[in-house]
Amino acid sequence: MTVQENVRPALSSKAREMMEQLNSDAGKSHVWVRTQMNAPAQRPWFTDTGGQSGAGTMAMGRVAANQMKSAAHRWRWKEYSQYLNRIAGIASAADVSPIEFADRQSILLTNPGLNGRLQVTNTIRCAISIYNPGDIAPAHVHSPNASRTILSDKGGYTNVEGERCEANRGDIILTPNGTWHDHGNEAGAPVIWIDMLDWPLMEFLDCAWVDQEFKPGSGSNAKSQETVHPDGYSGSLYGNGGLIPTFVSHQRGWGQQPNPYVHYRGAEIRAALERLRKQAGDPHEGIQMQLVNPVTGKPVFPTLNYQAQLLRPGEETLPKRETCGTFIVVIEGKGKSEIGGQTFDWEPNDIMVVPNFIWRNHINTGSSDAILYTVSDSALLNQIGQYRAQGKGKDGKVIQLVQ
Ligand SMILES: [Fe+2]
């Protein structure tokens, strides 16, 4: 007997059809049935050995709409800045500024693989805000961890629990879980910064809290917090390379092991990279430094890991892939990155996303340095024992970097 004789196409085909109908009916009862058509939904996993793998393939049935596979993507500054400029234009001519009726003047980046969700990776939200002179975002607090990466040369501030942080290009200003914060711009020109948050993760965990009434019951309706500590306060306490103060509480906001060092300065990050430029660096990352919570030595947030890397002129990194979603913003220089077989060229303020476990490498194609900032959820993946990384050697062979 041959294999062919065992196949009964007509009946099988009918069975497939009936199963699809069954699945459709079952939806009314909040039940999902395994069928042939939706089979890829059962295996959206990665594999190194081939075989029966969906390898990220989306299903065709009703499950597909809820699957989350972020896609590699690049947002060009030339393109997205136009929307910010238009918002600023509307705001400057309006009787009521958009910041009053829309809470913020910002755009949110949506990953083309995530069905319009307000997120760039499975865990990260990215907004890009523009503040006109005089704009104020009132004091508020939330459980999602957040940061601002400053794109404008200068201008604008964030007040974190009374610490006034003056913003300059390349600065990263943190508002950890549960820290009251407000923003504004008292300079003469609009300021732009990137807001990064672990908001989608907190929503997924049903752990998103937001409060907007500063000092409830106190009769205070101040939009901005009083400045209790001058610009540079947390830097004077925690920015001393391996030294931390013993006479202050390290607690900020809510939760465990918060980061009390809330203002990483672009100029200091740049200078630190510069001091290491003659080192060989990492073949997969170039000269890279991790921003850490100085109290714990761990990533900036329990969920998100922030890093900065210098690629010297002509430098090309070897391919690497990691079990995390990574957001990249170009701070300096020109180059191109290959992400999952697609090539993206880039210049300052361009933004890219590298999905989970997709091969990527970077090349500095310019004649000057390139500086990339990255934010990834490797901090979270590492804490739950799921962080793995592979690289390729010069010979193209796969190396297990983190088992
Ligand atoms: Fe906020």
DSSP string, 241-299: SS---SSS----SSSSS-----EE-HHHHHHHHHHTTTS--BTTTBEEEE-B-TTTSSB
Q: Are 363 and 335 in contact (CB under 8 A)?
A: yes
The confidence score (pLDDT) of residue 369 equals 98
199 CB-side CA count, 13 A: 17
Residue 28 contacts by C-beta under 8 Å, 6 or more apart in sequence?
none
- What is the rounded CA–CA span in Å between residue 351 and residue 247? 40
The confidence score (pLDDT) of residue 115 equals 86
Tokens in use for 161? 């629990």
- What is the rounded CA–CA span in Å between residue 289 and residue 312? 14
Q: Residue 327 CA to chain centroid, in angstroms?
A: 5
Q: Are 337 and 308 in contact (CB under 8 A)?
A: no
Which H or E element spans position 266?
helix 266-275
Strands laid side by side in the 389-392 sheet: 342-346, 335-339, 360-364, 320-322, 389-392, 398-402
Say how many Å lie between the CA of residue 223 and the centre of ligand 1.
13
The confidence score (pLDDT) of residue 5 equals 46
Say how many Å lie between the CA of residue 139 and the centre of ligand 1.
8
Which H or E element spans position 84?
helix 77-93
275 CB-side CA count, 13 A: 7
Say how many Å lie between the CA of residue 141 and the centre of ligand 1.
6
Say how many Å lie between the CA of residue 271 and the centre of ligand 1.
29
DSSP three-state, residue 71: coil
DSSP three-state, residue 87: helix
Say how many Å lie between the CA of residue 295 and the centre of ligand 1.
23
Say how many Å lie between the CA of residue 176 and the centre of ligand 1.
9
DSSP classification of residue 286: B
Say how many Å lie between the CA of residue 65 and the centre of ligand 1.
29
Which H or E element spans position 268?
helix 266-275
Q: Residue 247 CA to chain centroid, in angstroms?
A: 34
pLDDT along the chain (403 residues), means of 10: 47 84 92 78 65 53 70 97 93 80 86 92 96 91 97 95 97 97 93 97 96 74 86 97 96 95 98 98 98 97 98 98 97 97 97 95 98 98 97 97 95
Say how many Å lie between the CA of residue 142 and the centre of ligand 1.
6
Q: Are 399 and 393 in contact (CB under 8 A)?
A: yes
Closest to 284 in 3D by CA, of 251, 311, 245? 311
Say how many Å lie between the CA of residue 181 and the centre of ligand 1.
7
The confidence score (pLDDT) of residue 4 equals 46
> C-alpha distances in angstroms, 313 versus 89, 175, 331, 366, 370?
38, 34, 15, 6, 7
Tokens in use for 87? 């918002």
DSSP three-state, residue 72: coil
Q: Are 391 and 319 in contact (CB under 8 A)?
A: yes
- What is the rounded CA–CA span in Å between residue 252 and residue 238? 13
Say how many Å lie between the CA of residue 140 and the centre of ligand 1.
6
Q: Are 339 and 352 in contact (CB under 8 A)?
A: yes
Residue 178 contacts by C-beta under 8 Å, 6 or more apart in sequence?
141, 142, 143, 252, 253, 254, 255, 258
Q: Are 371 and 365 in contact (CB under 8 A)?
A: no
